[in-house]
Homo-oligomer: A and B are copies of this chain.
Amino acid sequence: MEKVTEISSLGEFGLIDRLTRDFPLRNASSILGVGDDAAILDYHDHKTLVTTDLLLEGIHFDLRYVPLRHLGYKSAIVNFSDIYAMNGHPRQITVSLGISSRFTVEHIDELYDGIRLACQEYGVDLVGGDTSASVTGLVISITCIGEGEEGKIVRRSGAKPTDLIYVSGDLGAAYMGLQLLERENRVAAQSPDNKFFEPDFTGKEYILERQLKPEARRDIVDMFAQYDILPTAMMDVSDGLSSELLHICKASGVGCRLYEDRIPIDYQTAIMAEEFNMNLVTAALNGGEDYELLFTVPLAMKDKVDMLKGIRMIGYITKPELGAALVTRDDQELPLKAQGWNAFNH
Interface residues in A, total, Cβ within 8 A: 72
Q: B31 and A51: CB pair below 8 A?
A: no
* CB of A169, distance to nearest CB on chain B (Å): 17
* Given A56-B139, A145-B48, A344 contacting B133 (CB threshold 8 A): yes
* CB of A127, distance to nearest CB on chain B (Å): 7
Of the stretches A6-14, A64-72, A223-231, A296-304, the one at the interface is A6-14
Stoichiometry, as copies per complex, reads 2
Q: What 0/1 readout, one digit per residue, does chain A (16-37) give for beta carbons within 8 Å of chain B?
A: 0000000000000001100111
A123 within 8 A of partner (CB): no
Alpha-carbon separation in the docked complex, A59 to B12 (Å)? 13
Alpha-carbon separation in the docked complex, A35 to B85 (Å)? 13
* Given A11-B342, A49-B39, A96-B52, A139 contacting B139 (CB threshold 8 A): yes
Q: B58 and A135: CB pair below 8 A?
A: yes
Supply 21 A–B pairs (Cβ within 8 Å), ascending by A.
Answer: A12-B342, A12-B344, A36-B86, A36-B155, A36-B251, A37-B51, A37-B234, A38-B50, A38-B51, A40-B49, A41-B47, A41-B48, A42-B48, A54-B96, A54-B132, A56-B134, A59-B133, A96-B141, A132-B344, A135-B137, A139-B141
A50-B92, A52-B143, A145-B145 given; name 10 further pairs at CB < 8 Å: A35-B156, A38-B50, A38-B85, A38-B144, A43-B48, A54-B139, A56-B132, A59-B98, A94-B143, A139-B139
